[in-house]
Each structure stands twice: as C-alpha cells, then as structure tokens.
Amino acid sequence: MNEQTSTVVEPVNENNIAAGSIVPQEPDEPDFLEQKSTVYRFAVVTERLVCCAFLVIMLGLIVLQVVSRYVFNFPFTWTEELARYALIWFTFVAAGFVMARRIHISVDLVASKLSRKGAIALDTFALGLVVLASGLMASVGTGYAAGAARLAAPATSLPMSLVYAAAVVGLGLICIHAILHIFTNIRHPELVPDAMENLEREAV
C-alpha cells in the first residue's frame, strides 16, 4: 500500500505578496510607500521627530515660566508667547504626520457597510476632497503669511509670517500625503490597510 503525500499550499494573503510589502497591522506601522521609498520614510520620521521636538520645547518653556514666576518672582515675558507658537507648529506638523500614517479620526459607518473595493473607492474620493481643500488653503495661506512679514510678535519681535507659515507647512504636508495615498489606492489597493480592522485593534 503506497502512502500518499499531500502538499499544503499556503494561501496568498495581504502579508504574503510577491512585491515583498506588507499591509500595516497597526496604525503606527510604516505603510507601502514608506516600505518602498527610503526618502519618503525619512521624511515621515522627520515629521515625527519635529513633533517630539516641539513638545519638548513647549514643556521646557512652560517649566521655565513657572519657575521664573513662582520661584524667582521674575517672570519672563517671552516664554508664554514662544510656547504658544511652538504649540501652533506642533499642531500643524503633527497633522501632516497623522495623514502620512492614516490615523486621523474618521467616521466609518458607510465604509464598514461596503465591500473592500467600495471602501477603497470611497476613501479615494474622500482623499480627493482633502487634496482640494488642503491645497487651496495652503495656497491662500502662503499669500497671507507673506503679507504678515511686516508684523512682529509683541514679546519676541518674531515676524508673524513665521507663525502663519505653520499652517502652510502643515496643510502642504497633508496635501502631499493625501496625493500619495490616492496613488496607493489606485495602483496597489491590496496594500491599503483596512480602517475598521485598525479601529478594532486600537480598541482591544
């Protein structure tokens, strides 16, 4: 009696494709573009480090303000203003980083009812709206920031265009990341992370 041997063939899934890329299993993991482009991954990591730097700067300025006011009874006039401007820059740069990793807060009531292709099509449409809105606001904001160059901050005398430029940079980053996500949705839909699965992992 001959023994028959059978070969088990593993099914191809999202994490076992010929391209060698994987679908992010956590929202904070690098996506397809970061896996394929060292330059893009460096840019995203830089955004994250800049956000961390602004957080540290804000903490240092706030501590310095408290110590100077309540310990030495000689508060500095510029710490509060710089902390506020650091918060503004942190907010907009962080918005760009969050768009890069697709971890903005979203409502997926409609997407959860659609097939995967339908959900990706809806996501692409939403990203298109983001590109239009952020691109328009970045363009208008550039002129607004340039016009504020002659205005100076009251405590630090910094040009206010430096403050308004935060919005231009942040919205520009959002626009660029959204365009790249649209490219991924169209050319590599199998590598798009499922939003609902990510939300479920975050809730566990």
pLDDT digits (tens, 9 = 90+) for 80-108: 889 999 999 999 999 999 999 888 777 77
Predicted confidence at residue 203, as pLDDT, reads 41
Give mean pLDDT, residues 27-54: 84
**d(C-alpha 192, C-alpha 21), whole Å:** 11
Least reliable range by pLDDT among 20-34, 101-115, 118-132:
20-34
CA distances for 181 relative to 105, 117, 127, 178, angstroms: 16, 15, 8, 5
Predicted confidence at residue 5, as pLDDT, reads 44
DSSP 3-14: PP--PPPPPP-T
Residues whose CB is less than 8 angstroms from the CB of residue 25 and which lie 6 or more positions away in sequence, other chains included: 15, 201
Predicted confidence at residue 155, as pLDDT, reads 79
Single out the residue of 79, 74, 78, 49 nearest to residue 64, CA to CA: 79
The pLDDT of residue 190 is above 90: no
Single out the residue of 103, 104, 127 nearest to residue 184, CA to CA: 127
pLDDT-derived band at 133 (thresholds 50, 70, 90) equals: very high
pLDDT-derived band at 120 (thresholds 50, 70, 90) equals: confident
Q: Do 54 and 86 meet the contact criterion of CB atoms below 8 Å apart?
A: yes
Predicted confidence at residue 103, as pLDDT, reads 81
pLDDT-derived band at 199 (thresholds 50, 70, 90) equals: very low
Q: Do 168 and 138 meet the contact criterion of CB atoms below 8 Å apart?
A: yes
Alpha helices in the chain (DSSP H): 32-36, 38-70, 79-100, 116-147, 160-187, 195-203
Mean pLDDT, the chain, integer: 80
